[in-house]
Structures are given as C-alpha cells and as structure tokens.
Structure 1
C-alpha cells in the first residue's frame, strides 16, 4: 500500500516497470515520512525497509500473428469469440519453427512461417508468422511471396480432368519443346539438365519446368490462370504481368491460401477459404473431379516419381503415405513445402522478409525439414492417406515405364498407372523401340537426342518419306545436256536398306551406293521400300520437243 500510494504523484516518472530505481526511492521517502509522522513505528519501519518486488504479469498473448490476422479478416469482432486455433498444437509448431530456423542460419535464412489447416473444415489449427513476434510483427503466413513450383499440381490436375493428358502421357523435357508456343520464354530446370521424354507422373514428381509450361501451352495460359483463382489464389497482379512464368512461380501467393488450396486436394477437389473463427461460414465449391484429384494426389505421394530430382531419401520421404510438393522461387528468395495427410494440411515458407536471397539452397533443404517435422508431429494422432481404389471412373493399368503405353516385348520395365476411365492406352510400345531396344523418338526430340543429356541412347525416328524427288515434281529434258547430267538422285528420310523402284522397275545403286534415275519422258511413280515401310511420289517428265 505504501509503495502504491507514492505512484500517483508522478505515474510516468515512478512507473515501477520502466523506472524501478525512481519508484524504489519514492517508496523509501514515503516510508521515512510515515515514520516521522508516527504513523508506523521504528520496528515496523525496519520490517518494511526492502521495497516490494514488482513482477509484471501481463495476460499471455498466444498466437499473436493468428490473432492479428483474425482481426484483420473480421474487423468488427467484439466481445468473446471462439477461434479455430488448437492451443495444444500452436506452441508445438512455434517451438519447431524456432528450432529449425537455428539450423538454417548457414543458408542465410532468417525467417520461417507455418500454417496447419484441418482438411474437412478448412479451420486454421496453427499459424506461426515468424520466429519471434516481439522482434518482427510481419506475418509470413499472410504475406504474398513468389510461390515457386507449388502451383504445378493444379495445372496438371486441370489437364488430366479435361482428358488432354494422363499420368502416363509422355511430355517433352527438352530445351526447344516450347519454342513454337513461347518464342521469348526459355524456362530451365534447376539442375540445368533435361530428361527428354518423361511421363507426366515423373514430370510433376520431379517438378520439371519445361513439361509444365508445355502442358500450360495446351491448356491455354488465360483459362489456367482463372482456374487457379477458383482454388483461392488471389494473385496481386494479372496474367499480363506474369506471363507464362506464373506456372513456375513468378506469381505471388500467401502461405495461408496455399494451405487452403492443398486442403482442397485432400478433400477430393473442392475449394474453400481457410477459417479463423469457429462460427465462420465459408462456401465450398467443387473445382475438379474426385478421380482426377486422386491421380494427382497419388503422384504427390509417390517417392519413386520424384527420385530423379530429389533422390529416394530426401526429407519428403516419410514412412507414412502423405502428399507433398516443394517450391523454390527464382533467385533463391523463397522456399516452400506443402502437403497433407488424411486430417491436416501443412504449409511452410522459409526465406527472408526483406527479400534478399538465400545462400544457394532449395526448398528440400530449407522448408522441407520443418514441414516434415510438423507432419510427423501430426501423424502421432493423424492417419496417412489411403491408396486410390479402382471404380467405374478410375482404373489402373500396367504400362511400359519408358513410353507410358501398353507393355510390349521391348519394354525393359513396367509399372501400374491410374487413369480416368476411357483414357487408358490401347496401343503397345513396340513402335517406340528399335530392335536393339533403344527408344525411338519423333523429330521434335532431335536436338535432345544429339545432346549429352541423352543418357538412354534414344534416337530420332524420322518419318519414312521420299525427300528426292520432291512431291509432284515436274522435269523437262534438255536437248543440249548429255544424259549423264540429266539424272535425279533418289533419297529418303531413312537412308538405311532402302530399295528403289520406278514404275515397278528396280533401280540399281551406283558404285558409291547412291541411287540415280535417268530422266525419261512420261509420268512416273517412284517408290521407296525399307523393311515393312514404303513411300511413293508421282513425277512428270516432259520431252524437249
């Protein structure tokens, strides 16, 4: 009471939290004055000579980033409200964020954020916006950042659902695969290597860039951009600002929106905004079929599908069946990992709030270890995802691993693949192989086949056709030139073991192995034969008269 009685005279000056020395001196003066006035005895004064210890006991502020975001979403909040936060889970996530950030200092990473969303309801069960709210009130879960490759599953999902591609479709991962569609855009894989023909499952699993842009070119950039917005991605800018690069992550998104969108995959293809309040109602909308979503989810669970990029023993390879996707923005400024089990979706971002780049690190080494730690914590009570079950709309077929077609005697390895009913392959892979079991590819792969990236020894299958004479060629015999200078060389796109016939008469090769035909007036049918293939061209030769 004596201590408190002295404070009103100068509350700021004697504030015991800000100026404890001044407050204690005021207490000592008050004690002497009361003794001098006889209000207290000398014996009582000796018992009270030590000032009371003032301990500040503010009410605890739990999950401050979450609270700020909830108020910003619902500015008219008042009184007591029930939020979606799990107060048992929240401190665990905060602890994991702090502990993992300490291990990332060597990569020049100073901040991380994490969001946990309940799949069934869209409720946010945990949100950590930074390492320490007292140091930085910036909420990394609510800040738009370049999203890396995290949008790719939604692009492939749209392509599968529209039956443009299947998980077995061969996609080109070559330097020139999209030159015709995007002449001024040259995406590269982070490894700077190209795998040539890859099945869609591997293209998504390995997060390859060129196949994703190729699929985008078939879907159309503008429809795909609008489709992503249906999933809840609110991009700060429009398609014209991003160009085709939005599919590779030059578009910005918020961690909370990313978590909500992936929770939509976990629900089987429905979109719903993340919820902060228990009483909050968010509409739910179906965006993709359950069957197409099941195929994409199965790919995101497939550790073998991502082996070429991540290896078999990356932090993504949990013992339980969970879906996962990483993303690394250009310039190594943002790293992401997002994925889900049956009950929850976890999204993690790691980087720097001021945007300066990390020290040459990818998401799998930055954001993924934290994501994996959170997911393993949840799996103490959560359940892994179930494997897809065949039904009338979803079928499983054995395919050739190299071609995605039905197996043939040339197939070195086969695997099981999921298809929307009616999209499964009917052709076998025999036409894709030479007798030596080497892969034969269309002309579009010619540059890749000639490169060092062609580790499988594939070669190009040129279309068997006559290249000379040209189609419907017309010649005129010159009366002056000698006959030896009026001959047509016969050539074909495939020059090995070709036999030539003109109007059914076999043409013999010259000494050097080349084939020539002496011009003669009339209409002629030139035929090339190679094994079981043949090609014909009609030509006309006019006389000199």
Structure 2
C-alpha cells in the first residue's frame, strides 16, 4: 500500500466515512463519494484517535502528536525500524508522512513518534496558522455517557458509545467468595518491549481478581511496593515469577513470564 492510498483511507474517516478517489489537478472532476463506514463508526474511530489523554501515559501530554487544535492521528513503525509513518486529520486537512530509507535499510532508534510525527506536526501547524479546527458533531447513532468504576478503581469519565451500548451501572464483583487469581500476565506470557516507546515510559499491567481480597504482589521474591489489584510495572528484560500473597505471606497464585 502506498502513502497516498493510506492517506486517502484516513481522509475517508475525516469525511465521516465517505471515500473517493483523490483529485490531484484543478481541472480534474471530483469523484463521486462512496459510503465506506457509517457516520457513527467513523466518529468513534476519530474520537479514539484524537484522545490526547489516552496517549499521555505512553508519550506524555506534550509530544509531536499533540496539537493546539482538534486532530485525530496515528503513527506506525515497521519491523526492525525499517521505516515509519504518521497519518492524521483535522476538520479541514488530512496529512500523511513517511520516513525511511528508499533502500529499505533499517534506521537506528527512529520510530513513528520520533521520525514522521514531528514532520506531521510542523505541516499541521503551518496549515492551521490562524485557522481553527473543531471536533466533528455527534451523529444520531452516537451518545456521550458517563463511565464509572466499582470501588473507584479508576476516576469516572465521559466517553462516546454507539447508542444502546453505553454502560448502565458500574460493574460489581460477585459477592460470593472467590479465591484470588492472577488475571494478567497469563502463564508463560512473552512480552516484547515496544521499540517505538521509550523504555522508561513503558508499563506492564499486573492484575488479580477479585479485587476485594487483600493481597500483595511479589516479583522474583521482591515486593514491588503495591497491594493494588491493578498495578503498572516498569518492565525489565528477563524471566520472572509473579505471585500474590496474603497477609501471612502465603502464596495464593503464581505465574511465570518473560520480557525481551
């Protein structure tokens, strides 16, 4: 697939799910648009790609994907960092950027967020000098709803849903006793560090259920300093044994996993 084809696919999302051939000359007649996605689907995807807060855990709030105006954007990095791209759109413009060697030779430590994204940001800023960009209006099939979590595991927030799929009430754990067990990582999981994300910003989720049982995490005979049922661990390369123990340090459940 070419950069032009990929940019046109993102342009389809920007145009509320309607796609058409690109018009490359002023004297060229514009092609008739064709419905590819319904408006609701396109809006939900645009909402996901424009979520600055969701990216902040990985890239921080200030990064080459953060604009002062509304945009939806995605980066990608090929295997062995051979090349990378950044595609995104605003209310008015769709911009695609490819960075790589024409020979196909891998680059060194250059990912989508450090290679193509800064170029994309500079182009977008130039295009929007004195020109605002507003988020799309919600179509009839999409609704905004408040999302809350039992026992305040996460702060409540508002999110977008296809009508009929929005949450009605917080999910509550079963009141019957269940022996706690590790949900993630699963036994013998192999976790690969993402070359696109700085290692000091990467995290691996540890989770046990039910969350009402008092337990502590133990990783290779060391306690990482958390008794929360959801714990974000800064990964290290190697083989690990992860356990949960009760107040008497008795092992309740244990899994082995590796990081490379």
Q: Under a length normalisation based on structure 1, what TM-score does the superposition of the two structures give? A: 0.33
2:41 aligned residue (276, 289, 292): 292
Q: What SS does structure 2 have at the residue aligned with 1:365?
A: coil
Deviation at 1:421, TM superposition (A): 0.3
Deviation at 1:346, TM superposition (A): 0.7
The whole-number CA distance in structure 1 between the counterparts of 2:143 and 2:63 is 30
Instruction: Give the alignment's Cα RMSD to 1 decimal.
Output: 3.1
Q: What SS does structure 1 have at the residue aligned with 2:53?
A: coil
Deviation at 1:283, TM superposition (A): 3.2
Deviation at 1:445, TM superposition (A): 5.2
Residues 445, 460 of structure 1: 8 Å contact kept: no
Match in the other structure for 1:316: 65
Match in the other structure for 2:51: 302
Partner deviation per Cα, 1:181-214 (whole Å, 9 max, x = no partner): xxxxxxxxxxxxxxxxxxxxxxxxxxxxxxxxxx
Residues 182, 207 of structure 2: 8 Å contact kept: no
Match in the other structure for 1:149: none
Aligned length: 197
| Counterparts in 2 of 1:443 and 1:316: CA distance versus 1, 3 Å | closer
Residues 446, 459 of structure 1: 8 Å contact kept: no
Residues 261, 271 of structure 1: 8 Å contact kept: yes
Q: Unpaired segments of 5 or more residues in structure 1?
A: 1-252, 401-406, 462-495, 497-545
Match in the other structure for 2:11: 263
Match in the other structure for 2:166: 424
Partner deviation per Cα, 1:28-53 (whole Å, 9 max, x = no partner): xxxxxxxxxxxxxxxxxxxxxxxxxx
Q: What SS does structure 2 have at the residue aligned with 1:363?
A: coil
| Counterparts in 2 of 1:277 and 1:433: CA distance versus 1, 3 Å | farther
Residues 410, 433 of structure 1: 8 Å contact kept: no
| Counterparts in 2 of 1:432 and 1:383: CA distance versus 1, 3 Å | farther
Residues 82, 100 of structure 2: 8 Å contact kept: yes
The whole-number CA distance in structure 1 between the counterparts of 2:93 and 2:7 is 9
Match in the other structure for 1:447: 187
Q: What SS does structure 2 have at the residue aligned with 1:292?
A: helix
The whole-number CA distance in structure 2 between the counterparts of 1:308 and 1:347 is 24
Match in the other structure for 2:217: none
2:120 aligned residue (362, 371, 374): 371
Residues 410, 429 of structure 1: 8 Å contact kept: no
Residues 147, 159 of structure 2: 8 Å contact kept: yes
Deviation at 1:434, TM superposition (A): 11
The whole-number CA distance in structure 2 between the counterparts of 1:433 and 1:260 is 51
* 1:97-246 mapped onto 2 (5 Å cutoff): none
Partner deviation per Cα, 1:402-435 (whole Å, 9 max, x = no partner): xxxxx33443411111001011123522228999
Match in the other structure for 2:142: 394
Correspondence 1:330 to 2:70: no
Match in the other structure for 1:272: 20
Residues 70, 91 of structure 2: 8 Å contact kept: no
Residues 183, 208 of structure 2: 8 Å contact kept: no
| Counterparts in 2 of 1:426 and 1:370: CA distance versus 1, 3 Å | same
Q: Unpaired segments of 5 or more residues in structure 2?
A: 192-201, 211-245, 247-260
| Counterparts in 2 of 1:282 and 1:434: CA distance versus 1, 3 Å | farther
Match in the other structure for 1:384: 133
The whole-number CA distance in structure 1 between the counterparts of 2:7 and 2:203 is 38
More helix by share: 1
Deviation at 1:456, TM superposition (A): 6.0
The whole-number CA distance in structure 2 between the counterparts of 1:254 and 1:392 is 34
The whole-number CA distance in structure 2 between the counterparts of 1:408 and 1:368 is 37
Deviation at 1:255, TM superposition (A): 1.0
Match in the other structure for 1:341: 90
